[in-house]
Structure 1
Amino acid sequence: MLFGAAAGAFLPRIGYRLTVPYGSPARTGCHRCGRPFPPGPAGWIHAGAACCTGGRWPVVTSALAAGLLAAALGPVPQLPVHLLAVIPGLLLAMIDLGCQRLPDRLVGTLALVGGIPLALIAPDRIVPAVFAGLLVGATYLAIALLPGQGLGLGDVKLGAALAFLLGFAGWPAVAVGLGTAHLLNGAIATWLLVTRQARPIPFGPALLAGACTALTTV
């Protein structure tokens, strides 16, 4: 949990700066007080709130995710890999909740940070993991191309990346991860319809929550 809390403390500034519409540059200052961020790394590497916005929930969420993974997996070689993957995963959730966007670079970072070490730890699982990623990616792409735009291309890429990573844990983990994600978003969509607040729902956070659930329960 200490690792999660420490890492999460540095995420609010990064997440805030990257929570912008597709094609827009990262924020250069606080939209509330107008204070510009310092140039270079100092403008990105900052512990605590982004500026005038709260910074507690990323710390709490990161600490909880790290604690759950550590308690469920124990001292196995895969644990440090999954703990590191929490960082880009939480950033993706923050950005998707803020502007419904899943940056390709962060999705790729998540896949590489998790995929390369897992492939070295369990080389016999590479083929099933790649197959899981391709299968889920192709299925999600077909859904995204259907009328109604139920999924965005960012969701397709993140779903494929997470299926690839979960594939190293086995097909049950892939099924639980994706099934949980759809159950979560289905429950949220139903609640919004009942309360007459229907609006587009970001799918990235549910995908990431589903992956965490699979890793800690399967």
Structure 2
Amino acid sequence: MSAAALVPVALLGVLVGLAVPAMARPFTSAAVPGRTGLRTRHGGSGWLGPVVGAGVFAGLAVALGDDPALPVFLAVAAVGLVLAEVDLACLRLPDPLVLAAGVLCVGGLTVAALLGGTPGRLLGALAGAVVAGSAHVLLALLPGSRLGFGDVKLAAVLGLPLGWLGREALLTGLLLPHLLHGGLVLGLLAARRVRRDTLLPVGPALLAGAWLGVLLG
């Protein structure tokens, strides 16, 4: 993708990043009392949100180029930024947001497959959702697992765009979130910022790992 085309996509990411706190507020204000994440509930993202939004959108544009599914990936990324904000604030992945991301994926990728004449990629996306969802159900059922079923549902949704890109992207996007989350937990424990029984959000790691899976896959 040319620099001239990349700049508007990055600017769109900035706008989404600016809007994230307002879009997340209805979900964080309805949180169960006492469920506080790594960010104070109404602290907002400040300048970090627009920077992250620009980076996420620009990275997707560079990685996907002229792939007809790029608008779908950007739309899902926008919902993902809101999900990350909510999960960081109050350890929640609201079903309406996860469902919205899933509907965007299925509908958008179906249109992209029809326009591009690539129905096989749509089947790959659906298979990716099944693989990602099944793997995370098993992880959630392991003794002592901290993985919630909101995380399982989000993982299944993220399997759709990763499966669209192929097996390598899917495997990378499934593995990296747990490496990122594990590294974060170890770092916070070493810094004595959390205890062993502290609940930490997994959603942001799932989203970051999926984004990296797109870039690296």
After superposition, the C-alpha distances for 1:95-133 in whole angstroms (9 at most, x for unaligned) are: 000011101111111112122221222222222322221
**How far apart, CA to CA, are the structure 2 residues paired with 1:87 and 1:195?**
32
What's the RMSD between the two structures over aligned residues? 2.2
Which residue in the other structure is 2:116 paired with? Answer: none
Which residue in the other structure is 1:205 paired with? Answer: 204
Which residue in the other structure is 2:161 paired with? Answer: 165
Contact map agreement 1:111 1:165 (CA 8 A) in 2: no
Contact map agreement 1:21 1:99 (CA 8 A) in 2: no
Letter in 1 for 2:103: L
SS of the equivalent of 1:10 reads helix
Of all paired residues, the percent bearing the same amino acid is 38
SS of the equivalent of 1:19 reads helix
Task: Kindly indicate whether residue 151 of structure 2 is the aligned counterpart of residue 151 of structure 1.
Answer: no
SS of the equivalent of 2:165 reads coil
**How far apart, CA to CA, are the structure 2 residues paired with 1:132 and 1:208?**
15
Letter in 1 for 2:25: Y
Matches within 5 A, 1:59-70: 59-70=50-61
* 5+ residue gaps, structure 2: 1-9, 34-39, 114-118
Task: Kindly indicate whether residue 96 of structure 2 is the aligned counterpart of residue 105 of structure 1.
Answer: yes
Which residue in the other structure is 1:183 paired with? Answer: 179
Which residue in the other structure is 1:80 paired with? Answer: 71
Matches within 5 A, 1:7-86: 7-20=16-29, 53=44, 55-86=46-77
Relative to total residues, which structure has the larger helix share, 1 or 2?
2
After superposition, the C-alpha distances for 1:37-86 in whole angstroms (9 at most, x for unaligned) are: xxxxxxxxxxxxx8x85542222211111111122222331222211111
SS of the equivalent of 2:12 reads helix
Contact map agreement 2:128 2:164 (CA 8 A) in 1: no
**How far apart, CA to CA, are the structure 1 residues paired with 2:131 and 2:44?**
40
Runs of 4+ in structure 1 deviating by more than 3 angstroms, as ranges, are: 20-24, 52-55
Letter in 2 for 1:150: R
Contact map agreement 1:134 1:160 (CA 8 A) in 2: yes
Letter in 1 for 2:202: F
After superposition, the C-alpha distances for 1:155-191 in whole angstroms (9 at most, x for unaligned) are: 0000111012210111111111111111100101111
Which residue in the other structure is 2:121 paired with? Answer: 125
**How far apart, CA to CA, are the structure 2 residues paired with 1:103 and 1:6?**
22
TM-score by length of 2: 0.81
Instruction: State the 1:93 CA deviation.
Output: 0.3
SS of the equivalent of 1:190 reads helix
Which residue in the other structure is 1:137 paired with? Answer: 133
Letter in 2 for 1:172: E
**How far apart, CA to CA, are the structure 2 residues paired with 1:7 and 1:194?**
34
Letter in 2 for 1:130: L
Selected match of 1:194 from 182, 190, 194: 190
Q: How many residues align?
A: 194
Contact map agreement 2:20 2:85 (CA 8 A) in 1: no
TM-score by length of 1: 0.80
